[in-house]
Amino acid sequence: MPVKREDAGVLTQETFDQLVSAKLRLIRTDADLTQDKMAEIIGISKKTLVDVEKGRKTLGFTAASLTAILFRRGEPVQSLFGDMTIDVVEFVSTRAKSRAWYKTLGGPVWWTEESRQGPFIVQKHRFTPYYRIIDSDHYLHYYSLNREETFQRLAELTTGTIAEEPNR
């Protein structure tokens, strides 16, 4: 099932669901689980799991979130979100963009520095199109698929003019 990117690079619940659903078979085989056991763990029927693995449907945001979090240490989920799986789920769930959420490890393995302004650092994920802004203490302030939006948010953070996001 192709992932739709119609939202100009904003990571939505639908996009998150599509990304995880597309990797479900890899996630399951990486964890060395049968279809029956995987379905039991993530709380879906085996028929639904088979349909998702064949690309006929998606998991839905809740099951996709659970799957990503439970299997976040496996290579398939790491290739999607690096060390930020829990943060990505929180971000997509709440759409919070302007507060520091969580202390990160700074990203030396999964992230490369793109820009630095004052205490803020823009980093790009090495294997995916994701960008994030952390501060010099490694607290996450922003996460996006959109490079332009990320640099706009960096300018807002450095000037202290954070516009509140409207509820979506």
The 10s digit of each residue's pLDDT in 81-132 is 888 888 888 878 866 444 455 566 666 777 889 999 988 999 998 888 888 8
Same domain, 40 and 81: yes
**Phi, psi of 31, rounded to the nearest 5 degrees:** -85, 0
> Can you list the pairs that 77-82 forms with residues at least 24 positions away whose Cβ atoms lie under 8 Å?
77/20, 77/23, 77/27, 78/110, 79/23, 79/127, 79/128, 80/19, 80/20, 80/23, 80/128, 81/128, 81/130, 82/107, 82/109, 82/110, 82/111, 82/125, 82/126, 82/127, 82/128, 82/130
Same domain, 70 and 115: no
Of 105-109, 151-155, 161-165, which gets the smallest average pLDDT?
A: 161-165
Q: Of the candidates 66, 94, 122, which is a domain's last residue?
A: 94
- Does some domain include residue 118? yes
Same domain, 86 and 21: yes
Same domain, 24 and 88: yes
Task: Give the chain's mean pLDDT.
Answer: 83
- Does some domain include residue 155? yes
**What is this structure's pTM?**
0.58
Domain count, the chain: 2
CB atoms within 10 A of CB 126: 13
Structure tokens at 2: 């192709």
Same domain, 23 and 85: yes
- Does some domain include residue 8? no
Task: Report the C-alpha gap between 28 and 151 in whole angstroms.
Answer: 36
- Contact predicate 55/8, CB 8 Å: no
CATH of the domain at 78: 1.10.260
Same domain, 55 and 126: no
Domain of 43? 13-94
Q: Of the candidates 67, 94, 121, which is a domain's last residue?
A: 94
pLDDT in tens, 38-50: 999 999 999 999 9
